[in-house]
Structure 1
């Protein structure tokens, strides 16, 4: 049975979500503000988080940011705002999906089921050999990454994304290819996730400036890892 964490401060919506998910066969944990939601996520390790944006104590964006620092748990963001900027903000922050209130129960359940399927199938069988090019040292077995000798903490998706890029060093990988290899999502839905994940990955590895980063954006095609700063 999959465990869901619902972080929602509206008592009526919270109750409705609990009934909906329980009847669908899920185990449901709930929190009514951002801080308690973050604490529940750390303690319970849910399979998916349904996260409202307008929360007291700590808003949904702050919760999402802190979750993404330590976890790759799928996050479905709920918000009353329908503007494109809010959707982009959610994707940029690492949300896996986005649904605007009011929503149909059937659509919400379908999105939750899809995220759980992708999450369950996201353990790719990477080669066990250690990768080391003098800049990046990546150990798939221990799930550790070092840049110039300094260890970097990555989420599972960020680790898979970097692994895909370095294992194909010199080759341009399209967003679809990276979705398939890092997210196990070959459909190409949600390609914007790749862009924002690459931005977060560069920042975590200490490559805030494009010229300093061996992860190169190839306009109109995708991304390429330049081994030791070269093209191959």
Structure 2
């Protein structure tokens, strides 16, 4: 037997949390709304993962950044969803959707039906293999997209005992991760193909100000460059990073 709802939000990110808040404000009835998420926790503010979550002292942890703290609204903890009659189906992946029959099939074989489906699955982190570079699963290679990624990165930072880190990418997340790594007393080199950091947002002059500040903290920049390969030691940890311009 499956479950049936009037509204189903597929995806448990920020959009799902804010949508749920709006549904409640507009008077959704108990039992009408369901959120299905592959993550095991209620929707949260993802930007915290590259900010306070990585800091070595007083790091941010749930429930501190559940939705909707980003707009100074009430914090939507699991208790909030329960009190408002919203069902959270967490740790669940949907493997297929039949939009004609308005049904979703989960990886465990459960069928969930709906009248209105809101698809809010968001984006995902690009993997190295998509650029012809193998090594995504190596022990010391980290991505940052969700809570599990952030936990893995924190564990690597704490177990490194200093050492060196290469940050691939010069956007928001790359810059914020680099700052946290430096605070954690790790030597950082940033590698990105653009002529300066935050190229989609900053002018060269503004970027220069930020880059000089980062250099004053010990960060090195390798610009106009892309990653081509990794070398690994016998423990499956990354050694040199090879790049070309």
- Report the TM-score when normalising by structure 1: 0.29
- Larger helix proportion of the pair: 1
Larger Rg: 2
- Report the TM-score when normalising by structure 2: 0.28
Larger relative contact order (CA 8 Å, sep ≥ 6): 2
